Structure 1
Amino acid sequence: LSDRLEDLKRVTFQEKLGSLYDKVQRVCRVASGLSVLVPHASEKIKRAALLSKCDLITGVVREFPELQGLMGKYYALHWGEDAEVAEAIYEQYLPAHAGGDLPSTDTGAVLSISDRIDNVVTFFSIGLKPSGSEDPFALRRQALGIISLLINRGFAISLEELLQIVFEGPVKTDVADADTLKEEVLGFFLQRLEHLFISEGYPHDTVQAVMEKSKTLPLVRVKEIMDAVESFKKEPVYNETLIALKRVFNILKGIREPLSDEVDEGLFMHEEEKVLYQRAREIAEEVRVSVERFDYRKALLLISGLRGPINVFFDNVLVMDKDERVRLNRLCLLAMINRMASGFLDIYRLQEL
């Protein structure tokens, strides 16, 4: 099968994007970068990527294009390739439609992601992107396929990290510089992700609370955070917690000056300051460990324990004290709580029930 690689140079993939051989080289580079996600299958992934399009120039596939991938699988098996490599050549085209079957192997999943992300980025790079109801290259479907694969396989990679792998190589662009193109593609994925989450029944405020983190967290983690939020919403303390935390957020959002990570206990003038600070310090490590263990519900429940001390603080302490040092220290205390509460989601985007 590999003997057909050179023949790919004579077949155009897209006028501005080069030959099928060029396409395969790009997919190989992305697949190699992604292979770290499944080290046990690293060599199989690279081999499957190299052979992924060789069947497209066979007589059978030229006559029956719908057999692409399937014939590649059979050719690979015939020529003695590893069974998982052969299966991946077929599975690179899965899912074939929204809600369709996903690859059964890590190798097939990585190859499918590599092929699709190359399509999305390269077509965007030459200005061929979806517009309104028009999506001639099915880029929306391909983006949804990538999202589904990342969640289904639980791959520990974020959308930003995925795009970083793509953009580590030379990406020619007719429409903008590489950084602008990357942001545009990331925005496109976030739109698809938001649409998917809403269609799965997650409330709008829950989805909005995780959209920013969806750039930098693996999508399987994002789903777990939303599930934790939905569980937390059933707790009697949900509304009280949200109202208390929004008091913190609202007083900080108008502050432009940088706030230190350090809080000076020596500047406390009220017992309510001490109680809030001590309680926040007590749970900070537990919250951090819970997040590291992906126990987001426990983290939310721990944070909810601050609602009482926060309300008592605001009821009895004037944050904007005339003494500049005292004022800044109180703001630093609130900023400490704000960082803890918004470490894994934008909790302030949630709505009371």
Structure 2
Amino acid sequence: MSERADLLVEIGTEELPPGALRRLARALGDGLHRELDEARLEPGEVEIFAAPRRLAARIRDVRRAQDDQSQERRGPAVDAAFDADGNPTKAATGFAGSCGVAVADLERMETDKGSWLVYRHTEPGRPAAELIPAALERAVEGLPIPRRMRWGDSEAAFVRPVHWLVVLLGNEVVPARLLEADANANSRGHRFHHPEPVTIPDAASYPGPLESQGWVVADFDDRRERIRSQVEEQARSSGGRAWIEEALLEEVTAMVEWPVALAGSFDERFLAIPHEALMASMQGHQKYFPVVDDNDALLPAFVTVANIASRQPDEVRAGNERVIRPRLEDTEFFWDHDRRTPLAGRLPHLGGIVFEHRLGTQLDRTRRLQPLAGHIATAIGGEPDNARRAAELAKCDLLTEMVGEFPELQGTMGRYYAAHDGEGDDIPAALEEQYRPRFAGDELPATTTGRALALADRLDVITGLFGIGQPPTGSKDPFGLRRAALGVLRICIEGELDLDLGDLVDRAAGAYREQLGADGIDPATEGETIAFILERLRVYYQDRGVTHDAFEAVRSVALPVPLDFDARVRAMAAFLEREEAEALVGANKRIANILRKAGVDANDLALPDPALFTEEAERDLFTALGERREQVAGLAAWRDYAGALDALAGLREAVDGFFDHVMVMADDEAVRANRLALLAELRRLFLQVADPSRVQE
């Protein structure tokens, strides 16, 4: 018999929560692998399987038994183990007894510290079949199940009732009992097509028998891609292409064991409703995949995925068409009813929606957003009146029937209703764009008014929550402040908006005086808010391959202007790739240390006096600095930081010569102070761009 075999574990249950299915399967596989590893069974690759009624994991090449282990246990020193006549003392007999042997069976070990009694033996490895049940139990106990349930009078607790258990090591059943189910080789097929047991002959053959006999596709990824292919084929048969959102595809995959896609249709009259609303109804309520044409215009068709291969597919199709009609009629009613009241007419009712009890209602938010959005619009060359009007209407669609039914359409429906009300220019678009970017990689607001409103909305939330002492903590960020901060940075940097966060946070803070008292938010809290936003740049640049060193070098000197920060970081990242960078970074570190130990700040020292120079290397460095002083200042003023660093790279030879031939801490106090001033001048030039002394590597 081979020393290794594949291990298969399948836990059969009632229908599992779709949103948790893949996570539970992965946790089962990882947990089981970890436990087998700790049991010295040297597990190989993990494969996971997940379907609505089963979680399974296969661990490749598990040892059938542990290796034997040589063990050594040291006892008392020989001098203490025997008396003068050579008879064992209590120390020797006690040690031997604890080892389960006679004193005569003990060995002696010589060390540089003397001779000791030692007990050596070989511990036989235990069979895997004895170790797997406990390993499986611990792995299941560690699954991320927020609330475990019990069923009937059972004491077992799991996410759903358990009906069967398969545990195979190779082709042998491992005797195990888990959640009151005894292990065997019998899985079960599809609830309707094949409810009878399906025997799994060995772990390596899984999940083949389930599909060939039991009408179950157990491999999650395989099932998902089959669904994708079927849905696309059915959409083509309807004259279009499937609109497949990955989140819905994942959810549908977790809901079916034997997927069968069917196309259906609905009345064309419903196409007069905004397509986002129709799609939200189809996707959210019915789990249907919409069908669109080549221009992404919605067609009166959908694709559903059944969990059964019906003998009467036309009846299944007709049933789904009957079900979707009242859903679309509800959506049609919302659309017609909402348009009877202009968005502006809903404004007073925002006073009934609490945003955060200390920060007021959505009406309070609206009043704060208007001046802030108008100010930002002016700063970025937009129309402040449009921005203030967009801010006034920004939250009104929260009171519509459509958004009440489909919260994900906030902003989108605001755009439609504002256009219907005759709001001109870019106001309708801004109502939708205020929420962009919604996620990493999402599009940014395209209009100037949309950018102003999006920035105002995020800055109001961040500043307000910091003002009441509710910043994100650890993994908890209920208001999505980290995402909001990253959105602010992306809009400023990628939208090339030259905005000062210090000014914007100060204005946002000032608007909170009504909620937080006459003094509003104190300057220290404003500083924390700005620092929080800028810190998100660390993640932003990390995702773009910019080194931690380039970020840190800029973070300590940059103003709170994201566009300026970005120019510095990109310039510094390029500079660190240059041949001269290592020497100049080292010199900056050395200078920073020298000035710190001398107890002086580079910005406090005057220019050096050439009359006090005693070494040619001092004069060379002073001349090189003079040649670049105005050049670097001018380039930095124009934010040509790459050009400034290019000029500073030319200092390498003079800097190297200075440190090779000049002792900074000279005995003469005046000479020493003059040399410190020379180094301070060099450091000030670099600090106009970044602080190379922060570079770690």
When normalised by structure 2's length, the TM-score is 0.48
**Corresponding residue for 1:250?**
593
Amino acid at match of 1:12: V
**Corresponding residue for 2:59?**
none
**Corresponding residue for 1:14?**
356
**Corresponding residue for 1:240?**
583
CA distance in 2, matches of 1:142, 1:58: 25
From 625, 640, 644, give the equivalent of 1:299: 644
Map 1:158-237; keep pairs closer than 5 Å: 158-171=500-513, 172=515, 178-214=522-558, 216-237=559-580
CA distance in 2, matches of 1:203, 1:257: 30
Identity of aligned residues (%): 35
1:173 deviates by 5.2
1:227 deviates by 2.2
From 123, 138, 154, give the equivalent of 2:496: 154
CA distance in 2, matches of 1:297, 1:238: 13
Is 1:126 matched with 2:468? yes
From 260, 274, 292, give the equivalent of 2:619: 274
CA distance in 2, matches of 1:38, 1:224: 18
CA distance in 2, matches of 1:345, 1:92: 34
Which of the pair is proportionally richer in helix?
1
**Corresponding residue for 2:381?**
39
**Corresponding residue for 1:339?**
684
CA distance in 1, matches of 2:690, 2:682: 14
1:250 deviates by 2.4
Is 1:135 matched with 2:477? yes
SS at match of 1:13: strand
1:54-86 per-residue CA deviation (whole Å, 9 max, x = no partner) reads: 222233323332221112112221222123111
From 660, 664, 668, give the equivalent of 1:315: 660
Contact map agreement 1:213 1:345 (CA 8 A) in 2: yes
Amino acid at match of 2:637: E
CA change 1:124–1:233 in 2 (3 A) is closer
1:158 deviates by 3.3
Amino acid at match of 2:345: D
1:3 deviates by 3.2
1:15-38 per-residue CA deviation (whole Å, 9 max, x = no partner) reads: 221121101111113212322322
From 616, 622, 629, give the equivalent of 1:284: 629
1:197-247 per-residue CA deviation (whole Å, 9 max, x = no partner) reads: 122211111121122345x14223322322222322332222222223333
**Corresponding residue for 1:115?**
457
CA distance in 2, matches of 1:204, 1:153: 24
**Corresponding residue for 1:106?**
448
SS at match of 2:597: coil
SS at match of 2:465: helix
1:280 deviates by 0.2
1:317 deviates by 2.4
CA distance in 2, matches of 1:245, 1:150: 31
CA distance in 2, matches of 1:141, 1:162: 18
CA distance in 2, matches of 1:283, 1:190: 31
CA distance in 2, matches of 1:64, 1:147: 29
SS at match of 2:383: helix
1:131-189 per-residue CA deviation (whole Å, 9 max, x = no partner) reads: 22222221211111111111111111233333222223335559x96223223322322
CA distance in 2, matches of 1:283, 1:41: 42
Amino acid at match of 2:528: E
**Corresponding residue for 1:90?**
432
Contact map agreement 2:373 2:453 (CA 8 A) in 1: yes
Higher relative contact order (CA 8 A, sep 6+): 1
Q: Which runs of 5+ in 1 are unaligned?
A: none
CA distance in 1, matches of 2:525, 2:430: 29
After the TM superposition, which segments of 4 or more aligned residues of structure 1 sit over 4 Å from their partners? Answer: 171-174
Contact map agreement 2:463 2:529 (CA 8 A) in 1: yes
CA distance in 1, matches of 2:371, 2:396: 17
Amino acid at match of 2:376: L
CA distance in 2, matches of 1:129, 1:173: 16
CA distance in 2, matches of 1:177, 1:56: 28
Amino acid at match of 1:182: E
1:351 deviates by 4.1
1:300-343 per-residue CA deviation (whole Å, 9 max, x = no partner) reads: 12112212212222222232233322222221111111000111
Which of the pair is proportionally richer in strand?
2
User: Is the radius of gyration larger for structure 1 or structure 2?
Assistant: 2
**Corresponding residue for 2:694?**
349
Amino acid at match of 2:588: L
CA distance in 2, matches of 1:210, 1:245: 14
CA distance in 1, matches of 2:568, 2:622: 26
1:92 deviates by 0.4
